[in-house]
Chains A and B, each alone.
Chain A
């Protein structure tokens, strides 16, 4: 069974500092997604990572994927208050991994990020 683990689960940051959220998964996959959720809101797609070594950047966020280590990272540069939210990684096994996930994303527990002045 595919398991996805994020750490840390809680992250309190000061503005202008850098930090990284880690996402480990237990079985072969080359498709990983990052989502953001604001309190009481739905999930917003941030990044889609589809191959080993993939790196995507948007503003102060950068995501990368290492399929050999089964690890993705979400790096936050010079945090600002607007980045306060819960961040989820999700994995999709896909056909290449010997499974057919058909619409099933397996999510990590989420990392609650709070950015303080």
Chain B
């Protein structure tokens, strides 16, 4: 069974640009969550999507947005990039059973110059 895939794996952008990251969940998983990982703040929850609906959102500015498609694939977008957005962005999928075991993709390493 294929795992969670994320593209691209690495990105370099400059301040003010925007970026779109993509995530394909494990087949059959309908819940997709996104996290930002930085050395200073650790792992922080961005948002979660289920059946094309955002069900939960973390404490990030509106520059961070996402969406989910009917095949459960998800994208997240960051507009007007800032230096502090440099991070590893991780996507995780789950079956949305009563418990929430999440399976993580390899991540997208975003560097903002």
Contact = CB atoms under 8 A, between A and B. Distances in A.
Interface of A: 31, 33, 35, 41-45, 48, 50, 88, 90, 92, 94-95, 100-110
Given A33-B101, A42-B90, A102-B56, A107 B42 contact: yes
Given A42-B105, A43-B90, A103 B99 contact: no
A88 B37 CA distance: 12
B113 to A, nearest CB: 20
Contact of A42 (B32, B55, B104): B104
Contact of B58 (A41, A90, A100, A104): A104
Nearest to A110: B42
B103 A103 contact: no
B33 interface: yes
B102 interface: yes
Contacts of B24: none
A102 B53 CA distance: 11
B21 to A, nearest CB: 14
Nearest to B90: A42
Interface string B33-59: 100000000110100111000011010
B70 interface: no
Contacts of B42: 107-110
